[in-house]
Amino acid sequence: MSVHKEVKRVTTHTLQEWKEAGIKISMLTAYDFSMAKLIDAGGIDVILVGDSASNVMAGHETTLPITLDQMIYHASSVVRAVNRALVVVDLPFGNYQGNSRLALESAIRIMKEAGAHAVKLEGGAEIRESVERILTAGIPVMGHLGLTPQSIYKFGTYTVRAKEEAEATKLLEDAILLEKSGCFALVLEKIPATLAEKVAKKVSIPVVGIGAGGGVDGQVLVSHDMLGITTEFKPRFLRRYLNLSDEIQNAVKQYVDDVKSHNFPGKDEQY
Ligand code: KIV
């Protein structure tokens, strides 16, 4: 594990080396400066500025409404906080599907204006042209297969994907295609663990899972879920490491009580 600690700055090459050495990759989301600073200091390898910001930060039901300008705002705040982690940023819905020129322009804006290190796109064969065009600019691309929340209205539900053979076969083909196209890594979301392990063994690039079991090269979670800030979202794959929702509400209640009861500020808390 010393190889892991010694790394001053995680790059796409580091992740590839870790896959080959069997060192697991840790990844969490962040959308703002303060949280990104804490997560980076905690030793995370990859920070994803996910379009889940649309749900977590803005309160939308889906990831579809978030805009490129909003993603750039979140990403630039994260990049300013980070010393060690690789920062990957989601291309938002509508900025790459069916339009590889727009995909390239959007990816360039994310790299230039936010200072990100890589971008992530959802989908396989359907978005190949966009992936390949972005790669021509020297921008690293992470793929995302399985449950792809930007396609929620096609799926209809957030249940496990690729349980049927036809969808599993397409997913494996897409993973191989994304590797051949030049993606440096893949995210697999909410698919059977056996399929995820098969994909991770088949492709030579790192595969990071969320709800995809332990047979892959790394794990990603939404930080607000694993810290227990969000409470309604309770999928089987989620492990909560803290219950910040209760902690924060208790602190707020205590503060309200202190203000109302003239207990705050005290004599040594004023000028
Ligand atoms: O937007 C996001 O948070 C994601 C993760 C769930 C992988 O894409």
In terms of domains, do 165 and 265 share one? no
pLDDT in the model for residue 250: 98
pLDDT of residue 119: 99
Q: What is the pLDDT of residue 252?
A: 98
Are 44 and 27 in contact by the 8 Å Cβ rule? The answer is yes
254, 228: one domain: no
Atom of ligand 1 at shortest distance to CA of 120?
8
Whether residue 12 is found in the same domain as residue 65: yes
Q: Is 263 helix (H, G, I), strand (E, B) or coil?
A: coil
259 CA from centroid of ligand 1 (Å): 39
* Residue of 119, 142, 222, 237 to mutate, ligand 1, most atoms within 8 A of C-beta: 222
Residue 264 structural domain: 245-271
**Helices 68-81 & 33-41, crossing angle to 10 degrees?**
40
Indicate the average pLDDT of the chain.
97
For residues 138 and 262, membership in a common domain is answered with no
Average confidence (pLDDT) over 123-131: 98
Token pair recorded at residue 115: 């200072």
pLDDT in tens, 21-46: 999 999 999 999 999 999 999 999 99
**pLDDT above 70 (res 4):** no
Of 100, 104, 71, the C-alpha closest to 88 is 71
From the CA of 222, how far away is ligand 1's center (Å)? 7
User: Residue range 127-149: average pLDDT?
Assistant: 98
Helix (H, G, I), strand (E, B) or coil at 157: coil
The residue whose C-alpha atom lies closest to atom 1 belonging to ligand 1 is 50
Q: What is the pLDDT of residues 246-263, one digit of tens each?
A: 999 999 999 999 999 999
Residue 218 has pLDDT above 90, yes or no: yes
Ligand 1 atom closest to Cα of 63?
1
Residue 256: CB partners within 8 Å, gap ≥ 6? none
Phi, psi dihedral angles at 209 (to 5 degrees): -110, 155
Atom 5 of ligand 1, residue of closest alpha carbon: 50
* Residue-level pLDDT at 7: 83
Distance CA 168, CA 196 (A): 10
Strands (DSSP E) found in 123-191: 141-146, 185-189
Domain of 142, CATH number, reads 3.20.20.60
* H or E stretch at 146: strand 141-146
Query: 140 CB contacts (<8 Å, ≥6 apart)?
Result: 12, 117, 118, 119, 184
Mean pLDDT, range 72-90, rounded to an integer? 98
- The answer to whether the beta carbons of residues 230 and 53 sit under 8 Å apart is no
Question: Is this structure's pTM higher than 0.95?
Answer: yes
Q: Are residues 118 and 251 in the same domain?
A: no
